[in-house]
Structure 1
C-alpha cells in the first residue's frame, strides 16, 4: 500500500507513518477498495464478509459452552473474544481513515499514485475471497439467508469424516449474533469518529483518551526493555566476561600456556641429556671404530716380509694357546 508514497523520492517525513498519509482514496482507488473489503472482513462486518461468518461461529460456540453446559469459562472466552474483535475493528477503521480518507496531510501523500497491476491484481483476488469465501459455510438455520446457499463447507466436512463420527450442530441463537454485530460495527464506528477530523501534527486521539496507559502500550509493556535488562545483559556478560575473560583467556589459554612452559622445560632437559649423553656416546663409539680402523690399517703395508712375520707371530700365539689349553688346563 505504501509503494505509491515511497516512490516519491526525497522524504522529509516518514512515508510509512499513517499520520503522514490521508487522502489516498483518490490517489490509489484500487488499493483503497481492496483494502476496505479486506479490512471489513478482518473486522467481521456483518453478513457480507467471510470474517463475519467465521467469527460468528466462534462466538456461537463459546456462548453454547456457557449457556448450555453451564461452564463459566465459556463466558470468559466470549468476553475476551468480543474485546479482541472490538479492538480489531477499531484499529482497522483507524488505519483506513488515517490512510485513505480525508485530505493528504503531507506533500508525499499528495504525490502518491496507484501501484502497478502486479500488486493490484493479487489484492483484487484476495478482496473477492475476503467477501465470498464465508458464504460457503452459512448455517442452514440462519434467518432469511440461511437457506439461500447450500452449506458447502459442512457438506465437505461430512464427506471427509468417518461415518461413525457425529458432528455436533449448533442451533441458531440471537445473543452471539448481536454481540458480533455490536463489536464489529461499534469498533468500526469508533475508529472513524475519533480519526475522521485528524490533522497533521495533532496529538493522537487515542493518546489523549488513554494517557499514561498509551505510553505503556506504545512501549509494548516495556517487555523489550525487560528482556534487554535480563536475558540480553546476562548473556552479554556470559559471552564477554565469563566465556572470553574467564573461560577462554583464563582457563583454556592458561592451560595451553602451562603446556607450552612444560614443553619448553622438556626441551631444556633434552639439551642437557640427549646431546651430551646419547649423541655424545654415539659419537665416541664412532670415534673408537675410526681409531681401530686407522690403527689396523697400518698392517696393510704391502710388504711380504711384514706379512710373514705377522703369520709367524700368529702361529706361535695360537700354538702357545693350544699348548696351554691341552697341557696346563687339562691337568
Structure 2
C-alpha cells in the first residue's frame, strides 16, 4: 500500500509530459556545453525566490548537488560533519581534498572540541543535514528531534569563523511556515551559507540544486565537476520540479496534514512498543538492531501490504538497522490505521513485540 506523493499528482505528470513534447527527452550535453535550457533558468529563478537565496544552480541529481560542494574545498581546509550526514557530502569532502572530522550526531560539545582543536588559519566548514532520515534511537527526539541543532551550529560557526553547509533533502518543502526547510523553522536562514536540496523527496521527481551567494553559485557553475561534466537535467524532470514547487507554495495545508499524520502514526508505533518517540516528522525511523531482524520485519510488513525501507550498514552504523517509514500528505486516516495494524502483526511474527 502506497499513497501517492507529488510524483503522482496529475499537474506534475502533465507538466513533465508537456515538456517532453516541446523539448524532447534530453539535451544530450552538460549545462556548460549544449544542455542549458530556458526551463532550467526558470526553475533556478523560481527556486531562488522560494528559498530566499540570491542564486541557485540546478543539477541532474541531489547527489550531484552535494558533490558540487567539493569545489569549494582545498587540501588545507577542514570539514567537520555530523556523523549521520549523507554519503554524498562525505564524497564531496574527499573530492575537494579537505580533511574530514566527524562529530557525534547533534553533539555541540563534541563539535566545539573539534573546532577548537583545528588549525585556526585553516578554512573551516560545518556540514549537516536539515532533517535526518536515519537517526533512529541515536537521536533525542524529545528535544530537537531528528532536525539538526542549527542554533548550536550557528553559534559555534560564528565563534570559530566556520562556514555552514546544510543538506535540506528531507526538510525543504516541509519545515518552516513557507516550507523552506529547517533553517526557516529555526529562524536562522542567514546562518546557512550554502543550502542544497533534492527534488526526489518533497518535489516528486529527480534532480537537485545548490543555493547560496551569487558569486559562489557562479563559481560552482564553472568549477564543480558534478556540474561541468554531467548531462543537464532532463526537460521532463525540470518541468515536474517546477510544477511541484508551485504546489508546495500554493498548498501549505499539505504540510500541516503531513505533520499531523506523522505525529499520529509515530505515537501509535510507540504505543505498540517500538523504540519510537512521537514526533511530527514524516520520516519515521523504527530501530530494529541487527540486519537480519530488520529484513525479517521488512518482509513481514511487505506481506501485510505496507512498503517501507530497510536501512542497514553502510546507510546506518553497524548494528543499528532500522525500518524507515516515509509518509505523504495523501495518506488517509484509514491507511494510517492499516500501517499501525501491519506493524503490530509483523512485529509479533518477527519476535520484536510481545
Q: TM-score, normalised by structure 1?
A: 0.22
Structure with greater proportional helix content: 1
Structure with greater proportional strand content: 2
Q: TM-score, normalised by structure 2?
A: 0.21
